[in-house]
Structure 1
Amino acid sequence: MNSKKILLATAVLYFGISDAQQSQYFTQKENYRFNLAENLYQTKIYNASQYEYARQYFYNQNLSRSRKEAAQFFDNVIGVILQKNHAEEGLTAFMKEYPNSAYFAQANLPLADYYLAKKDFPKALETLKKVNQYQLSKEENTQYILKLGYAKFMMGDSKGATDALEEAYKTADESQKGDIAYMLGHLYYSNRQNDKAFQYFDSVKDQPKYSKLVRPYYVQMYYNDKDYDKAISEGTALLNEDISDAYKAEVHKIIGESYFMKGDYDSAYPHLKDYLSVQQNPSENDLYEMGFVAAQLKKYDEAVSYYNQLLNSNSALAQNAYYQLGNAYLAVDKKQEALSAFRSSYQMDYDAKVKKLAHEQYAKLSYDIGNPFESASTVIQNYINENQNDPNASEMRSLLVKSYLYSGNYKETLNAIDKLQDSTPEINKVDQEVSYLLGTEEFNKGNYDEAEQYFLRSLGFNINKEFNNRALYWLGQVYYQKGNYPSAIARYEKLLNENFPEKQQLPYDLGYAYFKSKKFDQAETYFKQYLTNPKPEFKNDAELRLADINYANNNLNEAIAIYDKNEDATDYTLYQKGMALGFKGDTQAKITNLKNLLSKYPGSDYYDDAQYEIGTAYAAQDDFANSNDFFNKVIKTSSDSDLVANASIYRAQNYIDQNQSDKALSELKALGEHYKNSIYAEKIVQAAKPIFTKNGDVAGYESFAKSIGVNVDASEIDEINLSTAKQYFAKKDYKNAISYYEKYLTQNPTGEGLYQAKYELGESYYQTKNTTKALLVLMEVANLANDYQDDAQTRLAQIYVAQGDNNEAKKYLENIKNSSNVNIKNYANVELMKIYGDEKNFSEAEKLADAVIANNKNSAAVIETAKVIKARSLMNSGKDKDAQTAYASLEKSSNTAVAAEALYAKAFYQNKGKAFKSSNETIFKLANNYSSEEYWGAKALVLMAKNYIGLKDNYQASYTCDQIIENYKDFPEIVAEAKEVKKQIKK
């Protein structure tokens, strides 16, 4: 309250009531009281004034309408000024009742004070604008302008506030100028008009009231003007003053940033740290600045801690922070963490320069340690694409080729080479070697056409002689596997005078190539040469092939001698020896040898064949009773339909030789009905022919033959059609063979050679890629017993396997798994093993895998597949120790998918054993060496996230899960697992 005004009002009042009009006031008592209310209001004695106004309003019955309006108005206004309950509602009601009241003008300044006190600046400003300045005294006008400037400032109207305060400053007396100068200094400071701010602050800086308030402004303004030395000097001096902790922290910040801008990080560090230590929620800029300074002072772990607090935002500062975080991680040799940081920085687009630097570091680190999020090659290729004219592009292109090479992604290595504008001797050498390696990779997968192209590409260079020889050797192996034995022989023979790692096996390979070509003399020469220096694991096989050659050349004594020489006689050698003895005419020795096979190998693939051959041997000795005993065993126990049919026919022929013609004919007729229209029907007719001939029953013979589908008088045209078809088929001219088979079968829907013709027609369709027709014809052959049933079912299985129709494939594979043909049986085992593996039927898959692994005649690729399936089965059944051993043997596989799965299993068991860091190292090895195997890479990333959880690094765990969810949508089950892992982190 202004005491002078109060005294003045009292004096006025005193002199007023001493005047000659005193009697009038007493006479007109109520008029006096109304004037008293007005005087009290003007002198701001509000409580007394309100009392008088209220008294007039409610109790003066003679009050004029105008004064009644005035009394009501000032009663409400004073209530608002004194902040009494419901006063504003009363004033609002008055405004509605008297919207044009003349009394509003008298209340504007007090109301403005009220609104300013309540910080209702919009209403305060609105009220102040209604004031008539011309009715104000000089002092009141100064106060009015000051209030107007303050209200505008608080409403964000800096210019309006400045203009108002400048006007007030000009008219204010000295006691008021200090406050106005301080406010103007602050406004100009806020608008970065430092010259003006200095002007007003200088006018009050020496006044005790303002000294402590304005000195921090000086520190900040010196900093803003880049006068860092003055900012430091002024700030240091200010720190020695008695200022609040909040001011002190701000001063520390400005001093620290001044040193920072001067590059004096040692001096900046303690000030910035003092500031940051008292901040509950430091800004991104504060954290970045502190992290940068710590990094410059080689306090890298501390720098990492600051940068890590920035990483929840997406901004230019965060991009820079990620980049600096990567550098800090590198400085403490945390390359894996640096990789993630550089990747995050590169993926932001705020600062192109920082993006490029981060991308470069991200690419180089991906090459150096591997990248679990995306292949190093992809990262480097993206860098090249985005920085075509960059001086580092040439270095990056060379790095790209190496990254593909070292990651085992040989196909992309060649693609990268093909995109190079200019080649060099070094690149040509890589081309030669990678093409060779790709060839061996495709060869091991059984992709012989692709392998051939890569080996031919490698042979286009002759830089590395060893790789040249090896490519030629493996090209020969490709041709051998494709059945092109002449081409295989031609490649092998070019290498006879060369030295290379596989040279020891060359005679063995030549022997087999000639053996398959039926050129037994040359095959014999090379097998004998090989046996002068054989590998132990191939010696026995080479000896047996030499025996087979003698067997084929009818050199039976030599064959038998080799079979006898074999120390560990197998079922195969016993069988072959027995057959050789039989061909020599020593049937008793044949029987003895084959019975030895039955005794030693009851589960042999040759068991049923041996029983059948013993039966034929006894028949040759006219011991028909023993002969039929063995034929009966074959008929009852064998799953080989061909053996069963032949044994049945042979048994009937024995009845004929025992003069039991009626019994024989009865059995043959039953067999004829069973094997009608099959290849066996002709044998049955031939077996029955002596009976009909003996009885002179030619009509019966013709009728019998016709009834079971045998046409005794085949037409010459049909024979020509069939003969021509077979000739084309033998020459592998399948296209021409088809038309002749179709003509033959149109005229001969039944009869001799039906199933052979149908099978060979189906095979011709298959070889000419007409799979639909092939299926139709081969099904007819596969569904009835005949000589080609196994072959047809095998081909059908192959077609369905190629089409990915496992259900249909399995049906035929189950049929042929008991075939007498060892190769067909083994094929069925291999494919059923894979199918059961895919179906997660590990118990069945493991049984078949054991059989496949035990068969050393299988290719390395097939055995390796079996080992993989067995390892999965062991893992699935919880046999961890055995599973780890099984997977460990596969880690160095040349098949990238197998090696990647093996490394994943290693990482899995390391995680299970809580060796989280070792598990992550294994995962990075997987990512580095087998980046092309995305499935196992994605699985490994889930494991990595779990490892980081185990290592208490939730940021890395969460980041890894985010990368899986974003980048591996082709594997929804893995993405789902990553989401579950992330939920664990959030808990």
Structure 2
Amino acid sequence: MIISAYITSKDYKGALDYLKDKKSAKERALFQKVAFYRGTELFAEGNYDLAKENFENSLSVPLDANFTARATFWKAESNYLLNNYREAATDFQKFAASSEASKTAEFKELYYNLGYAYFKQKDYGNAIEAFKKYSAKNIDDAVRKNDTYLRIGDGYFVTSSYKNAIEYYSKVIEMKGIDADYAQFQKAISYGLTGNENAKITALNAFLNSATRSAYKDDAYYILGNSYLEKNQNELAIENYDKLINNFKRSPLVSKAMLKKGLIYYNSNKNDQALTTYKTVVQQFPNSADAKQAVKNARQIYVDLGRVDEYATWVKTVDFVNVSDAELDNDTYESAEKQYLQNNHKKAIESFKKYLISFPNGLHSLNANFYLAQSLFSENKHSDAISNYSYVVNQPQNEFTEDALSRLSLVYLENNNWQKAVPLLERLESEANLPQNIIFAQSNLMKGYYADKNYAKAVDYAELVLRNNKLEDRVKSDAHIIIARSAIKTNNETKARNAYKEVEKIASGELKAEALYYSAYFENKDGNYKVSNEIVQKIAAEYSAYKYWGAKGLVLMADNNYQLKDAYQATYILESVIKNFSQFSDVVEEASTALSKIKTEQAKTNESIEN
């Protein structure tokens, strides 16, 4: 009876505690199943370490073959999300070898997930094989099919099998789905790598003409410019570099395109135009690697022209170039960088700090600040990394800007510092090239605006997030709950009603309990008091672990009973809430107000009868 109560109320943690030392076959069989369900519960909440531990506990009692197979699959999923890709692949293979695997709902996703486990290990051969198996059997899910073709194309691309890569990128383009622009861009690059430079140029021009908005347009203009440069078609090269420079001012390729323009001018004996271009790089991108190269190139021109005195005068105005200290600067930085590249983070932290003290505006201060921040982050000294990440994001756009924005915003999010996090997330959304960083920014901006009580913007971003077809259910649930809660805060109950319905479809755990509460709330509003009570009873039976929503549900049930002319039952419930849920002051206050109202109305009714 006790274990049945635990399982019926989905209190799997309590059930496991009860079964922990039980030895009978029936109880061990129950332990296997309950451990599995507890694992899926924790997995849905994003607690993958504890989820994995529970799946392993389930696997330690392999009495039911079906549950053994499913626990193996979900252990693999947990390992994958914990970045344990090798272990994930091994577990997926064990699942595939199980005679029960094909009978489970998880089997459909096996080769897709196995493909990613191999892909993350850079085992592209096995990844391609797994993705092909998935695409051969799963033809109905267009989004997954599209993604599978992309990963097969990428696998062939990185293993230099460019003709095969072109074949699969073409499949993605034909589907006209997500990341079709990426596939079109990669297809063009693949043509070039097969030696078909003309096809590459044609494909890049077609891409630029068809892709109205794409994160790869700046790359395409840069690569197309380079292709024309290799063919000595300098005017076309400059034309494409200028489109990049003028239309994508925040792209990290702008400074590189300027360097290429400077080289064209230099090789065409247009030395003054070359010098102007190089000096623009130095002015707009100080302290960057390209600015340092521009200084070197300008020096060569001045030497060629016999105008070294002009070079000396100019270079003194460049604050990040100290000619006399340059050699020591390089040596100090190189020593620190070596430690960093060897993943010796503690020594790297010490060395980079010494470098920045000695050369605060040195040749490598940008790299040094970023690598120091990364090292501190790797050593779980997240707060210590703030100043160095801040230095990087406050510099002109550079190769580290996107990573630094992502990491710095994450540090502030860990400390619930929305005031600092939101401006960084806004920048990350507008400047990021990687789709996962854009999603990260948007999904946290909706939470940040909600925390700041800017409900209109919170809803705008939640709706923007929901337009992405590749979201996990957890992120979808977060977006719908932001919409729902914002609607409640702004008294837009129609919108709240619809949003909570969406939450109820996909949520689990506490969010599910909240969604059910509001389902009961709206049934109460509609006068469906018995239906409302049934939903409250469901919360109590299946989501008893979330006592806050259970308590609020009881207050709602009291109102339902009162509306159904059962004042006695309503009074009893409200008195029980006040007595047993003192930890929730807002619920107790709500219950007290409702109780007082009922007693007042009942007193009037009694007085009327007596008179």
TM-score between both structures, scaled by the size of structure 2:
0.86
Asked if 1:979 corresponds to 2:592, the answer is yes
The structural deviation recorded for 1:479 is: 2.3
Give 1:547 deviation, angstroms: 0.8
Residue in structure 2 matched with residue 477 of structure 1 by the alignment:
77
Residue equivalent to 1:511? 115
Give the letter aligned to residue 848 of structure 1.
Answer: Y
- 2:378 aligned residue: 767
Trace 1:547-566 onto structure 2 (pairs within 5 A). Answer: 547-566=153-172
Q: Matched residues in 2 for 1:984 and 1:448: separation?
A: 47
Question: Contact 1:587–1:621 at 8 Å: present in 2 too?
Answer: no
The whole-number CA distance in structure 2 between the counterparts of 1:455 and 1:430 is: 14
Q: Counterpart of 2:401? A: 789
1:642 alignment partner, SS class = coil
1:672–1:708 Cα contact (<8 Å) kept: no
Kindly provide the amino acid, as one letter, of the partner of residue 338 in structure 2.
T
The aligned residue for residue 726 of structure 1 is 340
Distance 1:844 1:497 in 2: 49
Distance 1:559 1:964, change over 3 A: same
Using the alignment, how far apart are the partners of 1:885 and 1:660 within structure 2? 65
The answer on 1:409 being equivalent to 2:23 is: no
Cα deviations across residues 744-779 of structure 1 (Å, max 9, x unaligned)? 444443434433332222222223222331223222
Cα pair 1:830 1:852 within 8 Å, conserved:
yes
- 2:428 matches 1:816: yes
Q: Which residue of 2 aligns with 1:778?
A: 389
- Summarize the alignment of residues 238-253 of structure 1 with structure 2, pairs less than 5 Å apart: none
Task: Tell me how far 1:494 sits from its aligned partner.
Answer: 2.5
Separation in structure 1 between the aligned mates of residue 96 and residue 150 of structure 2, nearest angstrom: 24
Structure-1 residue corresponding to 2:368: 757
Contact conserved, 1:588 with 1:617, CA < 8 A, in 2?
no
Q: Which has the larger radius of gyration?
A: 1
Q: Does 1:525 align with 2:129?
A: yes
Per-residue deviation, 1:620: 4.2
What corresponds to 2:604 in structure 1? none
Matching residue within 662, 669, 674 for 2:272: 662
Query: What is the deviation of 1:910?
Result: 0.7
Q: Which residue of 1 is the match for residue 607 of structure 2? A: none
Q: 1:642 aligns with which of 219, 236, 252?
A: 252
Aligned counterpart, 2:458: 845
Taking the aligned partners of 2:57 and 2:90, their CA distance within structure 1 comes to 18
Aligned amino acid, residue 504 of structure 1 = K
Once the two structures are superposed, what CA deviation does each residue of 1:789-811 show, in whole Å capped at 9, x if it has no partner? 22122111111111111111112
Task: Provide the alpha-carbon RMSD of the alignment.
Answer: 3.1
CA separation of 1:658/1:412 partners in 2, compared to 1, >3 Å: closer, same or farther?
A: farther
User: Displacement of 1:971 after TM fit?
Assistant: 3.5
Between 889-898 and 769-778, the greater mean CA deviation after superposition: 889-898
Note closer, same or farther for the CA distance 1:636–1:870 as it changes in structure 2 (3 Å cut): farther
**Residues 873 and 917 (structure 1 numbering): CA distance in 2 closer, same or farther, change over 3 Å?**
same
Shift in alpha-carbon separation, 1:507–1:740, aligned structure 2, 3 A: farther
Give the number of aligned pairs.
Answer: 584
For structure 2, the residue ranges without an aligned partner over 5 or more in a row are 602-611
1:541 paired to 2:151: no
Aligned partner letter, 1:552:
V
1:488 equivalenced with 2:92 (yes/no)? no
Matched, 1:904 2:511: no
Given that 2:333 and 2:364 are in contact with CA atoms closer than 8 Å, whether structure 1 keeps it comes out as no
Deviations 1:528-559 (A, max 9, x none): 23332235322221111111112212222221
Structure 1 residue 878: deviation in Å? Answer: 6.7
Mapped to 2, the partners of 1:638 and 1:877 lie a distance apart of: 39
Structure 2 counterpart of 1:965 = 578
Distance 1:583 1:778, change over 3 A: same
The 1:724/1:814 distance shift into structure 2, 3 A limit, reads same
Equivalent position amino acid for 1:742 in 2: K
1:604 alignment counterpart: 214
Q: In the aligned structure 1, how far is the partner of 2:154 from the partner of 2:543?
A: 44
Asked if structure 2 preserves the Cα contact closer than 8 Å seen for 1:673 and 1:708, the reply is no
- In the TM superposition, residue 938 of structure 1 has moved relative to its aligned partner by 3.0
Measure how far apart 1:919 and its partner are: 0.5
| Counterpart Cα distance in 1 of 2:399 and 2:464 | 26
Equivalent residue, structure 2, for 1:321: none
Q: Following superposition of structure 1 onto structure 2, how do residues 570-609 of structure 1 map, counting pairs within 5 Å?
A: 570-587=180-197, 589-609=199-219
Query: Secondary structure of 2:83's match?
Result: coil
Q: TM-score, normalised by structure 1?
A: 0.55
Alpha carbons 1:681, 1:709 under 8 Å: kept? no
In the other structure, the counterpart of 1:446 is: 46
CA contact (8 A) 2:346 2:375 kept: yes
| CA 760–911 in structure 1, closer or farther in 2 if over 3 Å, else same | same
Partners of 2:309 and 2:276 in 1: CA distance: 17
Paired residues of 1:615 and 1:627 also in contact (CA < 8 A): yes
Q: Give matches, 1:130-279, under 5 Å.
A: none
Q: Using the alignment, how far apart are the partners of 2:242 and 2:513 within structure 1?
A: 53
Q: Which amino acid aligns with 2:480?
A: K
Most deviating of 661-670 and 864-873: 864-873
Find the residue that maps to 1:531 and give its secondary structure.
Answer: helix
Please report how far the alpha carbon of residue 913 of structure 1 lies from its aligned counterpart in structure 2 after TM superposition: 0.9
Q: For 1:891, what is the secondary structure of its paired residue?
A: helix
**The residue matched to 1:770 in structure 2 has which SS?**
coil
Q: Determine helix, strand or coil for the equivalent of 2:136.
A: coil
CA contact (8 A) 2:477 2:507 kept: no
Structure 1: segments with no counterpart, 5+ residues = 1-397
Which residue is 1:859 aligned to? 472
**Matches of 1:612 and 1:561, distance apart in 2:** 24
Contact 1:609 1:643 in 2 (8 A): yes
Q: How far did 1:416 drift?
A: 3.3
Q: Are residues 696 and 482 of structure 1, via their aligned partners in 2, closer, same or farther at CA, if it must alter by over 3 Å?
A: farther
Q: 1:748 to 1:526 in 2, by over 3 A?
A: farther
What per-residue deviation string (whole Å, max 9, x for no partner) do you get for residues 306-351 of structure 1?
xxxxxxxxxxxxxxxxxxxxxxxxxxxxxxxxxxxxxxxxxxxxxx
What are the Cα deviations for residues 228-256 of structure 1, in whole angstroms up to 9, with x where unaligned? xxxxxxxxxxxxxxxxxxxxxxxxxxxxx
Q: 1:432–1:458: 8 Å Cα contact kept in structure 2?
A: yes
Structure 2 counterpart of 1:550, which letter?
A: Y
Other structure's SS at 2:342 match: helix
- CA shift, 1:826, in A, is 1.6
Structure 2 partner of 1:928: 541
- Mean CA deviation greater in 675-684 or 876-885: 876-885
| Structure 1 residue 460: Cα displacement | 2.1
Aligned residue type for 2:48: Y
Farther off after superposition, 913-922 or 578-587: 578-587
- How far apart in 2 are the matches of 1:460 and 1:698? 77
Alpha-carbon displacement from aligned partner over 1:797-855 (angstroms, at most 9, x marks no partner): 11111111111111211111121222212211111122223444343233322332332
423-432 vs 600-609, which deviates more? 600-609
| 1:608 CA displacement | 4.0
The equivalent position to 1:437 in structure 2, one of 24, 28, 37, is 37
How far the C-alpha of 1:932 sits from its partner, in A, is 1.6
**Residue of structure 2 in register with 1:568 after alignment:** 175
- 1:593-614 deviation per Cα after TM superposition (whole angstroms, max 9, x unaligned): 3454455443333344444444
> Within the alignment, does 1:462 sit opposite 2:62 as a pair?
yes
Shift in Å at residue 743 of structure 1?
Answer: 4.2
Q: Are 2:409 and 1:802 equivalent residues in the alignment?
A: no
Report the identity percentage: 32
Residue type of the alignment partner of 1:741? F
By how many angstroms is 1:921 displaced? 0.8
